[in-house]
Amino acid sequence: MKLDLKDKKILFELDKNSRISLSDLGRKVRLSKEVVFHRINNLVERGFILRFQTVISTYRLGYQSYKIYFKLQNMTQEIRKQIQEFFMKHSLVYWIGNCQGRWDLIIASWSRNIKDFGDLEDEILNKFSNYILEKEVTISRKSVQYNRRWFYHDKLEPVEMSYGEDLEEIKLDEVDFEILKNIANNARIKITELAKKLKVSVTVVRYRLKQLEKNKVIIGYKYALNPRLLNYETCKSFVFLKNITAEKKKSLINYCKLNPNIINTVQTIGPWDLEIELEVENFEQYYQIMNEIQEKFNEIIKSYESVLFSSEPKQSFVPGAY
């Protein structure tokens, strides 16, 4: 499926701020807000945009991000379906990645403490240990998302949305949490609709949203793209580092930031030290990019492992999102 230049420009701007008004978006892409409205709806209907997402720093809410990576065995279609449904329904699992390569399945969970995560892991092993050949665990330290630039780009610096261990917990009330739950998977929801759902005034919702943004609880607004409709694949690299210093790591991450195919980097505690997510035309392009990175930073990169994602059926940046 092909997109024309106007659609690509709309996607480009929405990936920087998916809550942008129709009027502002129209000015940026030189279209009327009516035309922009219909084009956005068309992108959703055709499946390019899966949902509009709010990037929320759950660290600010007192949650830590853990990932579990599974190599599976004894799989049947029915067993795979059971595992998928279990994670889809679990309130602490906020992301699922079905993949091929080093791992077959990756999940990410929010936990307030190590006991919460331990209870989740025990529950998984109690239900599915016969189907797990191998597993690993990482703790996410800091995640940085970059706006997509591979289908269209300008000369401006990439837009970063970063969150992690450097953000302290903040106390929120029930209204704030309800705003986050409603906006997490519907970033373009109107303030009037939010106010009606929460049974508060528009003024209250508008003020609370601004405070959530100011306090870096809400980091930004993006959308989930289906890159396969554009003949692109999503890959992730697990990078093992050596001789690392803060300055060397910063240099590596800044280099990744400037590559238009790299959409996310995550610093981790675990077997590997950095995860790099890319959207690429094929595995050949992926290996070309990763080998160039390894060559440039061979002083600090020991090796890397890879997966190719087949689907990401669940992603939500706040527990309990609607």
Q: Which CATH number covers residue 88?
A: 3.30.70.100
The owner of tokens 């997510």 is: 277
Residue 244 is assigned to a structural domain of this protein: yes
Q: What is the mean pLDDT of each run of 10 residues along the chain (322 residues)?
A: 92 97 97 97 96 94 95 96 96 94 96 94 97 97 95 87 90 96 96 97 97 96 95 97 96 96 97 98 96 97 97 88 85
The whole-number pLDDT of residue 319 equals 83
Same domain, 14 and 90: no
- Whether residues 112 and 19 share a domain: the answer is no
For residue range 59-109, list pLDDT tens digits in order.
Answer: 999 999 999 999 999 999 999 999 999 999 998 999 999 999 999 999 999
- Predicted confidence (pLDDT) per residue in 109-146, tens digit: 999 999 999 999 999 999 999 999 999 999 999 999 99
Are 143 and 231 within one domain? yes
Q: What's at 273, amino acid-wise?
A: D
Q: How far apart are CA 21 and CA 220, in angstroms?
A: 14
Domain region containing 272: 59-147+226-315
Asked if 130 and 14 sit in the same domain, the reply is no
CB 138 within 8 A of CB 272: yes
Q: Do the domain assignments include residue 296?
A: yes
Task: Specify whether 132 is located in the same domain as 66.
Answer: yes
- Specify whether the CB–CB gap between 297 and 259 falls below 8 A: no
Specify whether 23 is located in the same domain as 103.
no
Residue 163 backbone class (left: φ over 0; alpha: ψ -120 to 50; beta: rest): beta
Q: Is residue 286 part of a domain?
A: yes
**Residue 153: what pLDDT?**
83
Are 111 and 249 within one domain?
A: yes
Same domain for 100 and 2: no
Instruction: Mark whether 6 and 97 lie in a shared domain.
Output: no
In a domain, 255, yes or no: yes
Cβ atoms of 120 and 71 closer than 8 Å: no
In this structure, are strands 93-101 and 218-225 parallel, antiparallel, or unpaired? unpaired
CB 232 within 8 A of CB 279: yes
Answer yes or no: do 13 and 137 share one domain.
no
Residue 152: inside a domain, yes or no?
Answer: no
Is residue 298, in this structure, part of any structural domain at all? yes
Query: Quick one: DSSP state of residue 183?
Result: H
**Residue 90, domain member (yes or no):** yes
Domains in the chain, number: 2
Go through 181-211 and write b for each residue having 16 or more CB atoms within 10 A of its CB, e for each that does not: bbbbbbbbbebeebbeebeeeeeebeebbee
Query: In this predicted structure, what is the pLDDT of residue 26?
Result: 97
CATH of the domain at 40: 1.10.10.10
159 in a structural domain: no
**pLDDT for position 273:** 98
Q: Judge if 81 and 140 occupy the same domain.
A: yes
Q: What is the pLDDT of residue 322?
A: 84
Q: Mark 266-282 as b/e (b = at least 16 C-beta within 10 Å).
A: bbbebebbbbbbbbbee
239 and 135 co-located in one domain: yes
